[in-house]
Amino acid sequence: MKKALIFGISGQDGSYLARFLLGKGYEVIGTSRDAQIAGFENLERLGIREKLLLESVSLVDFRSVLQVVDRYKPDEIYNLAGQGSVGLSFEHPVETFQSLGIGTLNLLEVIRFLGAPIRFYHAGSSECFGDTGGTAADESTPFHPRSPYGVAKAAGFWQTVNYREAYGIFACSGILFNHESPFRPERFVTRKVVNAACRIARGSREKLLLGNIAVERDWGWAPEYVEAMWLMLRREIPGDYVIATGESHTLEDFVDAVFSCLDLDWREHVEIGRELFRPADILRMKADPGKAWRELGWEARSRMRDVARRMVRAEWDPDNGSL
């Protein structure tokens, strides 16, 4: 039985990855900053919490990371932890960099220190690219992050490359574009739109306040993306991969898809607030996930409107199996 250690198991990706790996016959250990009081609601909703081992770990504390890795001696480590909100990173840039940049460095250094044959996955982000001006970004596209979150993710990416090249560690980064699910926290715009639309469909007279709805993103379905993480660690030679659908849509398109699922006209229920525009936003994100298809055999099956429909269904009827 292979053993996987997931840092950040309580989040969207960590929860889906845990379910996926259990299905593959893994023993799965997950970490949280305080596993004794954490709710682990996502794991509960998936019905897998009792199948996991859960530990308290501080990623910014080298000794804490070392102890848990040495105790369980995993075959694979998945680094999905850290401050995960682009918007929040503008308010808390130091915390963002510490949790993402220093956290990743601690994990890589622990693997080097122990000299163990551990395969390491780092969760990169499309935010590293910044605005590519409509050009589809692939693994060779230069980084130009436009948020503290993007800067921290870029640091983690290059740390992963450096430890792979300098120390021979099997280390990969998945450069994931936006991937959504009902497990997205409500501060994320996709969940904010879905929740508001469902309340309005039930009779609420509220207005949904949004920022720049002209921004373009590549939206996929999160449960599919965790499979790509696993596939990266199956390769003979480690590498980095863009993971995306390859299709970009405006936020306005996403809003329209969500409200249309509920037979509503979004224009009657949405207002634009300039105060919600970010200090430095990315207007257009486009991806070229061709390498993932060629080398991993991975391709996104769900597109933006599929994602919108599934999120609406899960919010409207939580027991319908859309997770």
Phi, then psi, of 251 in degrees rounded to 5: -60, -35
pLDDT tens-place string over residues 101-151: 999 999 999 999 999 999 999 999 999 999 888 899 999 999 999 999 999
Interval 244-262 mean pLDDT:
97
Active site residues: 125, 127, 149
What is the pLDDT confidence band of residue 244, given thresholds at 50, 70 and 90? Answer: very high
Give the CATH superfamily of 189-215+249-279+309-316.
Answer: UDP-galactose 4-epimerase, domain 1 (3.90.25.10)
Specify the DSSP class assigned to residue 135: P
In this predicted model, which residue has the larger pLDDT, 274 or 74?
74
Residue 313 has pLDDT above 90, yes or no: yes
> What is the per-residue pLDDT across 193-236, written as a single tens digit (0 to 9) for each?
999 999 999 999 999 999 999 999 999 999 999 999 999 999 99
Give me 180's structure tokens: 């959504």
Fold of 3-181+220-247+286-302: Rossmann fold (3.40.50)
For the chain, the structural domain boundaries read 3-181+220-247+286-302, 189-215+249-279+309-316
- H helices present in 73-102, as ranges: 86-91, 93-97
Q: Find all residues with CB under 8 Å of 183, minimum gap 6, and list them.
A: 11, 12, 15, 16, 42, 45, 222, 323
Q: What is the mean pLDDT of residues 71-88?
A: 92
Mapped to the 3 state alphabet, what secondary structure does 142-208 carry?
CCCCCCHHHHHHHHHHHHHHHHHHHHCCEEEEEEECCEECCCCCCCCHHHHHHHHHHHHHCCCCCCE
Where is average pLDDT lowest: 49-53, 178-182, 184-188, 288-292? 184-188
CA 116 to chain centre: 27
* Residue 168 pLDDT exceeds 60: yes
Contact (CB, 8 A) for 248 and 285:
yes
- CATH topology match: 3-181+220-247+286-302 vs 189-215+249-279+309-316: no
**pLDDT (average), residues 234-254:** 97
In single-letter form, the type of residue at position 99 comes to S
Percentage with pLDDT > 90 across the chain: 85
Q: In which band, very low, low, confident or very high, does the pLDDT at 321 lie, cut at 50, 70 and 90?
A: low
Is 146 in contact with 130 (CB distance < 8 Å)?
A: yes
Question: Alpha helices, DSSP H only, in the chain?
Answer: 12-23, 41-46, 62-72, 86-91, 93-97, 103-114, 148-167, 189-201, 222-232, 251-261, 290-291, 304-316
**Torsion of the alpha carbons at 156, 161, 162 and 167, rounded to the nearest 10:** 120
Is residue 250 classed exposed, middle or buried when 0-12, 13-18 and 19+ CB atoms within 10 A define those classes? middle
Tokens of 215: 């921004």
